A and B are shown apart, each in its own frame.
Chain A
Amino acid sequence: MRAANAGNEGAYRALLGDLAPLLRKIAAQGFSRAGAGNADVEDVVQEVLLAVHLKRHTWIETEPFSPWLHAIARNKVIDCLRRRGRRVVVEIEDVAHLLAADPVPDATVRRDVKRMVGSLNGRQRDVVGMISLDGASIEETAGRLGMTEGAVRVALHRGIAALSALYGKAQL
């Protein structure tokens, strides 16, 4: 994380990649302790990764990384359990109906990337879509959309923040 904060993109990617399995374990433990199933584990993993990314300025570089990470993961697991509680109480008929009509397309992840990116607005949708779906680089995206690289970076960052907010909504 220290290397990542210093601007080392490769180190950051490797760190997030290493965190994913650890977070999967933390989320699964959290769910089983609450007596809940594992259906949303991957969603929580992604939510935590987004939070780690968007809140990484709250970690102090001289402090240990693990307590910070665990606190974020714990919060997101609790949020998810609460959301699920509400969903079951309020919308069980809706959920049953949806499940019957439209079987979940992806075995592990229930949110559809296209729909999530599609619900971003204008520029953010274009930029996030091009980078995440087409795998374009910042430079390519800037060229194709006729934007400066700086503007692409801003739109990407805001788009990621907006994605994170979408995860927080009760259903998607």
Chain B
Amino acid sequence: MKTDALIDLLSRDTRRGPPFGRGAVVALACALIAAWAGMLLTIGVRPDAAAALETVRFMLKFVVTGALAVAATWFAVRAGRPGARLAPAAMALVAAAAILVGAVVVELAVVPADQWAARMIGTNAMVCLMAIPLLAIVPLGAFLMFMRRGAPASPVLAGAVCGLAAGAAAATAYAAHCTDDSPLFVALWYVLAIGLVTALGALIGSRALRW
């Protein structure tokens, strides 16, 4: 095709979608709604949730996973935008991780050493490893659909960060069901489960996010 003919063709196509950044907000909202609806319809909220709301450890799970979901979504917008600097969004991810690290340090300080292992292993680790990835399926789809409108320099990285955002969104919902509230448990099993979704996102992204 002659380049002039192509330019002529392109200039006649006046359809243009909504701004890219807005799509991320939509994706995050869809992800949270899907994950929470999925949790409520299947495993449900833990029976003592009302009492748990008053404990710091329970609330902290939402703070950590929520901060991670927001930071990952922000990173995703930048990863999908050509020429955007990733460093500020990477710092936000580090900050979200730092909340968890801080909580682990405090937990290690206030809990006797002989209880560390029990708290870390918890009572329903396998449910956690299954439920978070399953709850993350629809959110992952939402973030990947959002990213397909982008132009990521690295489809693998873009897919991974979609997986991270989806896993974190699913974890906010799972946290309401889960009765293991210790940051030690979160740092091991939640991170592992979210990591699974991140890896899946990278795998899909390497194929589906080329443009």
Contact = CB atoms under 8 A, between A and B. Distances in A.
A103 interface: no
Contact of A132 (B8, B14, B15, B150): B8
A160 B153 contact: no
A132 B83 CA distance: 31
A97 interface: no
Contacts of B211: 51, 54-55, 164, 168
Contacts of A59: 81-82
Nearest to A153: B15
Contacts of A75: 82, 151, 153
Given A42-B3, A46-B3, A132 B9 contact: yes
Contacts of A156: 12-13, 15
A7 interface: yes
Interface residues of B, number: 31
Contacts of A69: 82-83
Interface stretch (B17-25, B57-65, B107-115, B171-179): B17-25
Nearest to B17: A57
A154 B10 contact: no
A51 B83 CA distance: 14
Given A72-B151, A132-B9, A154 B15 contact: yes
B7 A9 contact: no
Interface in A69-110: 69-72, 75, 109
Interface in B1-55: 1-21
A157 interface: yes
Interface residues of A, number: 46
B6 to A, nearest CB: 5
Nearest to A112: B1
A5 interface: yes
A120 interface: no
B7 A49 contact: yes
A111 interface: yes
A151 B81 CA distance: 29
Contacts of A137: 12
Nearest to A16: B7
A34 interface: no
A53 B17 CA distance: 11
21 contacts: A5-B16, A7-B14, A9-B12, A53-B10, A55-B211, A57-B19, A57-B20, A58-B150, A58-B151, A67-B82, A67-B83, A70-B83, A71-B83, A72-B151, A109-B1, A113-B2, A116-B1, A135-B8, A153-B14, A153-B15, A160-B9
Interface of A: 5, 7, 9, 12-13, 16-17, 20, 42, 45-46, 49-51, 53-60, 67-72, 75, 109, 111, 113, 116, 128, 131-132, 135, 137-138, 153-154, 156-157, 160, 164, 168
Interface of B: 1-21, 80-83, 149-151, 153, 210-211
